[in-house]
Chain A
Amino acid sequence: MVESDQRPFWGRLSGWGPYRSSMRLLSAGPRRQFLVLVTLPVLWVLTQHLGPMVQMASVSLTDAYPVAPGTETHWTFEHYLKFFTDRIFWMPFFRTLIFASVFTFVTLILTYPVAYYLARHVSPKNRMLLLLLLLIPFWVGEIVRTYAIMILLGNTGALNLLLQSIGLIERPIPFMYTSFSMGVGIVYLTALYMLLPLYSALEKLPRSLNEAGADLGAGAWTRFRRITLPLTLEGITSGCILVFLISTGFYATPVLLGGPSTTVFAQTIAGFFHVAGNEWPTGAAFATIMFLAALIVTGVFQKLMNGLRRGDVR
């Protein structure tokens, strides 16, 4: 008669020979433990993050994709050349970079005081509550928040109704489908990505530095300019890079809030994937160009900010 094992499942498993030997094999030494731990995350990054980008780059170098039955594909640079030789694509490209830069700056200007107030003037007890309140809109997706902006700015939207009710205007102001409505949407959608790095940088800033400045006779503006701002450059850099990169890739918001004169490069790229049929390689090439351009801009910006920071230390 076989006596049944009364131990719980995990207990029985840990006593099971093959399991014990495989665990011994996997956990023999810190290096092997490290390898076991990093394998999955590395695979995740390679397949889910880098994989699609590499595939996009490879599609951009083919002459046709999706490939029609019975046809062969060949490698080509023609889709990249298309961008550089056809000026009609330059306008949305540069418009995107300019819009993204302006919206990033506006987001910084708007969120810095909020972050400053949160980090420096709100008691730690209320700080989390206020942060939570600011986070609530970000619990819903980009599209829903974009529609919220549409409700706010439409001809029959809250803003126009308010302006009409207080007698400032007689007819609704056409806010929608302009660079203004698009800007409002993008600033609203990206504010959190600026706010959190700024808040983090400001919170770390020792109060004693400002107090010392005050003791030495520096006014509020001088203290901000000479102490607070330089010491939060790291947060500003992170926030600006995040917001800039996100802004260059926005698609739904410009589609829903933008107008005929606000076409951004993401819409041009999407046009190749959606409307034009058989034009994926061009879309992929343009996406790669945008990606590289955004990387170069942020790289230059970061270098500039690093220089500023180093100058400040000296």
Chain B
Amino acid sequence: MSHFDSTRRRFLGTAAAGGTILVAPAYLRRAHAQGGGEVNIWTYNDFVPEDFKREFESDTGIKVNIRLVDDQGKQFNLLSAEQPEPTVDIMTVAGHRFLQFIDNELLAPLDTDRLKNWGRINPTFSESDWATINGHKWGAPILSGMEVLAYNTELVSAEEARSWDVLFSDKYEGRTAYIIQDMMSIVMLKMGYDGNMIAYLDDPEKAAAIVEEAKNFLIDRKHLVRKYYDGGAEFQQMMVNQDIALGHAWNGPAAALINDGFPLEITIPQEGSYGFVYTYNITRNAPNEDNAYRFLDAILAAPEIGAAMTRASGFISTYKDVDPLLSELERKSTSFSDEELAGLQFFRAEANDLKYGLVDPAVEAIKAA
């Protein structure tokens, strides 16, 4: 009996200790939240400046929990899985993906009256047509980006980089990289079509034929590409390791490399390209909605924060009065000539169902080919 007592005691002790360990995180989290609470954010790397985060936490007592994401689709799927009780308060949606999130009731309309610093956003972004859907604003624009051609200036000339064709030239075989899904839009644009596919909303057969043409173009040139990549960090790494000489990139990660002194240039080639705007959005049924509004208002409060976001991410700030706060190199890496900007269009969401219904299988086909 005494032997059994001893075993039982050990069993109970272990169970108690195990239980305590399992319960501890929930208890500690709740205990911490009793201070100023918390705000949970899904966003891209460097979109919340570290200094700002520290200061905000110390001023408000609100703990900022950041979960890094690298893709709009992943955020959509994660949030869909969590609804109707999401764990996230603020997420980072690109303007042209709004509709998908709104249609699935994942976002709450943004009450701009609760943001006294709303006016600090450049109206080009805060009041543009894509920013208002169903009579509501859905997000606070924070950074703007675009699809660019980035090239190592020691290996590729500016003349060569005037056209997207250089990405598919034999000269740079095995030394290029691109995000295949984004490249589909660019190839369609390069071929003279509407990469947003709005022009083909009434003609799905033509849309399918265009996607097929773009798909075949990329499959025929698959042997020339070194890597289909997914995130900006991968692009930076391939450039630094000299695995590639040029590639399609988002301007942010490329600009960050330029600011670090890497011999890189970015350009919008003559065939044109697409731009997008990242916005902070409050989720439907956000568990800490008040804290989310406090966070948004605080991050919009000063151009210095916008400059810090640009400096860290390389994307272009949507805030007013940021330019004077940037260094010459930072300004250079985030600005384009009028000629380049003339070819820039913004991604649009109106035909997303049609477009991605065709593009997604095409992407899989290209990868599998």
* A interface residues with partner B (beta carbon < 8 Å): 10, 13-14, 23, 27, 66, 68-69, 88-92, 150, 154-157, 172, 174, 176-177, 255-256, 259-261, 263, 267-268, 271, 273-277, 279-280
Contacts and interface: CB of A to CB of B under 8 A. Distances in A.
Contact of A274 (B5, B73, B104): B73
Contacts of A259: 226-227
Contacts of A277: 73, 76-77, 100, 356
B369 interface: yes
A277 to B, nearest CB: 5
A273 B77 contact: yes
Given A92-B368, A177-B243, A275 B181 contact: yes
A175 B226 CA distance: 11
A260 B228 contact: yes
A155 B242 contact: yes
A294 B143 CA distance: 45
B111 to A, nearest CB: 21
Contacts of B367: 92, 260, 263, 267-268, 271
A150 B80 CA distance: 35
Given A10-B9, A268-B367, A274-B74, A68 B104 contact: yes
Interface stretch (B49-57, B162-170, B266-274, B357-365): B357-365
Contacts of A271: 360, 363-364, 367
B230 A27 contact: no
B222 A261 contact: yes
A176 to B, nearest CB: 6
Contact of A255 (B8, B222, B226, B230): B230
Q: Which 6 A-B pairs have the closest CB atoms?
A: A66-B80, A154-B241, A263-B367, A276-B360, A88-B365, A91-B368
A263 B71 contact: no
21 contacts: A14-B8, A66-B80, A68-B103, A68-B105, A69-B104, A88-B361, A88-B364, A90-B368, A154-B241, A155-B241, A172-B242, A174-B174, A174-B226, A260-B227, A260-B228, A263-B367, A274-B71, A275-B181, A276-B356, A277-B356, A279-B360
Nearest to A156: B241
A264 B243 CA distance: 22
Nearest to B230: A255
A152 B240 CA distance: 14
A280 B234 CA distance: 26
Interface string B343-368: 00000000000001000110111011
B26 interface: no
B227 A66 contact: no
Contacts of A256: 234
Q: A66, A89, A174 — which one has the most chain B CB atoms within 10 A of its CB?
A: A66
Contacts of B222: 260-261
Majority secondary structure of chain B interface residues (helix, strand, loop or mixed):
helix
Given A23-B8, A88-B369, A92-B367, A260 B77 contact: no
B76 to A, nearest CB: 5
B71 A177 contact: no
Contacts of A68: 80, 103-105
A271 B241 CA distance: 27
Contacts of B234: 256
A88 B364 CA distance: 8
Given A91-B369, A154-B241, A274-B74, A14 B364 contact: no
Contacts of A263: 367-368
B197 interface: no
Contacts of A150: 237, 241
B28 interface: no
A195 B221 CA distance: 41
Q: B74, B227, B368 — which one has the most chain A CB atoms within 10 A of its CB?
A: B368
A275 B105 contact: no
Nearest to A263: B367
Given A263-B367, A268-B367, A155 B243 contact: yes
A86 to B, nearest CB: 8
A263 B180 CA distance: 13
B5 A176 contact: no
A203 to B, nearest CB: 32
B282 interface: no
B81 interface: yes
A216 to B, nearest CB: 53
Interface string B99-117: 0100111000000000000
B176 to A, nearest CB: 10
A275 B80 contact: no
B364 A268 contact: yes
A275 B242 contact: no
B225 A260 contact: yes
Contacts of A260: 222, 225-228, 367
